[in-house]
């Protein structure tokens, strides 16, 4: 620092000695009095003040640079921390996406399995009801304490089926739904199971053939027993069955809910009533005949 100060003093001393301002001004203005030359001590003081200012400026700049460096260092550390956290987040997001893909596949498989199991459960439930019949409208208490014996002797006479008098076998019978409420003249449904599926089909065909059935001047009805879901599925075919009857198309509603039609020499099966209806309507449209030669002339 001392060498720098001495070199600066020497530099500014030499510059002041070589400065021709004073001699030029005195030569141009001969009458003016020459200014007294500055002393070496004054020049040294001015140089020292300049060096002091420069030193203070350098110190201030160095402090600011150190502050900037410390700020940059802190920012670098933060950026490194953020970069690590970002890498961890990307890694976790990647693992989550892989897990989600695996879970989606598992959920899809489970949904398919649930649908299959639901179909199997519905099939088992409805097959367990295949020999069941529902009797609606029978006055309360007419069956007595032994509804099985009552049905075995009463159904053949009601349906005019003497061949079933001795061989009709009812496995069990009971009243359906909650106990009967007093002061209400609406009898409960009687649910019974036949031992033979053929007897069940014979009873349903004969009930359909006879139409209205009565007991003591009150209507009674016989229906097949099925689950609510299957009943709704079979009920959805009501419109297309009506269409088949109007068009004189042979059809049959198979178990559990499948429509079979014999249409234009083909035997077709449908599980959707909308598909069956659209097929019948489209196939029943008249074919467009080719235009006559007169119509083709301009």
Average pLDDT rounded to a whole number, residues 217-235: 85
Q: How confident is the model at residue 181 (pLDDT cuts 50, 70, 90)?
A: low
pLDDT for the residue numbered 206 = 92
Cα 110 from Cα 22, distance rounded (Å):
105
Average pLDDT over residues 106-120: 93
Average pLDDT of the segment spanning 11-23: 48
Per-residue confidence (pLDDT) for residue 115, from 0 to 100: 92
What is residue 298's predicted lDDT score, i.e. its pLDDT? 42
pLDDT value of residue 7? 54
Q: Which CATH superfamily is domain 226-284 in?
A: L1 transposable element, C-terminal domain (3.30.250.20)
Q: Is the pLDDT of residue 152 over 50?
A: yes
pLDDT at 26: 43
Distance CA 234, CA 221 (A): 18
pTM: 0.52
Q: Mind listing the pLDDT tens digit for each residue in 234-274?
A: 889 989 999 998 888 898 888 778 899 988 888 899 989 99
Give pLDDT, residue 217.
Answer: 86
DSSP H or E run through 266: strand 266-270
Structure tokens at 108: 């899809």
Residue 46 predicted with pLDDT over 50? yes
Mean pLDDT of 165-178: 85
Task: Give the fold, CATH level 3, of 130-225.
Answer: Alpha-Beta Plaits (3.30.70)
pLDDT at 83 over 80: yes
Better-predicted residue by pLDDT, 182 or 147: 147
As a whole number of angstroms, the distance between CA 172 and CA 222 comes to: 16
Torsion of CA 46, 47, 50, 52, to 10 degrees: -110
Q: What is the pLDDT of residue 297?
A: 47
Question: What are residue 153's phi and psi, to 5 degrees?
Answer: -95, -25
pLDDT digits (tens, 9 = 90+) for 267-281: 899 989 999 889 888
Give me 18's structure tokens.
């070589």
Do the Cβ atoms of 109 and 168 come closer than 8 Å? Answer: no
CB atoms within 10 A of CB 15: 9
Do the two domains 130-225 and 226-284 of this chain adopt the same fold? Answer: no
Query: Does residue 291 have a cis peptide bond before it, meaning omega lies within 30 degrees of 0?
Result: no
The full set of domain ranges for the chain reads 52-128, 130-225, 226-284
CA dihedral 141, 145, 148, 151 (to 10 degrees): -30
């Amino acid at each position: 620092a001392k060498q720098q100060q001495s070199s600066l003093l020497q530099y500014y001393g030499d510059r002041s000695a070589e400065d021709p301002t004073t001699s030029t001004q005195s030569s141009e203005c001969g009458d003016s009095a020459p200014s007294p030359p500055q002393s070496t001590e004054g020049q040294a003081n001015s140089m020292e003040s300049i060096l002091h200012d420069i030193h203070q400026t350098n110190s201030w700049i160095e402090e600011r640079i150190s502050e900037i460096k410390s700020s940059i260092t802190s920012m670098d550390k933060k950026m490194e921390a953020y970069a690590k956290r970002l890498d961890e987040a990307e890694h976790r997001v990647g693992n989550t996406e892989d897990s989600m893909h695996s879970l989606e596949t598992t959920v899809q498989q489970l949904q398919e399995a649930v649908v299959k199991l639901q179909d199997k459960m519905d099939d088992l439930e409805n097959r367990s009801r295949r020999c069941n019949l529902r009797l609606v409208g029978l006055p309360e208490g007419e069956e007595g304490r032994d509804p099985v014996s009552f049905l075995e002797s009463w159904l053949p006479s009601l349906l005019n089926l003497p061949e079933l008098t001795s061989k009709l076998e009812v496995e069990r019978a009971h009243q359906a739904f909650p106990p009967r409420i007093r002061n209400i003249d609406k009898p409960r449904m009687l649910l019974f199971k036949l031992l033979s599926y053929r007897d069940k089909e014979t009873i349903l065909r004969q009930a359909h053939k006879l139409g209205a059935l009565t007991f003591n001047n009150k209507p009674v009805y016989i229906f097949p027993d099925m689950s609510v879901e299957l009943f709704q599925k079979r009920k959805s075919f009501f419109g297309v069955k009506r269409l088949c009857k109007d068009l004189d198309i042979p059809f049959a509603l198979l178990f559990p809910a499948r429509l079979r039609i014999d249409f234009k020499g083909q035997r077709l099966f449908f599980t959707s009533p909308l598909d069956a209806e659209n097929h019948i309507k489209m196939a029943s449209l008249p074919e467009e005949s080719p235009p006559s030669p007169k119509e083709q002339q301009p």
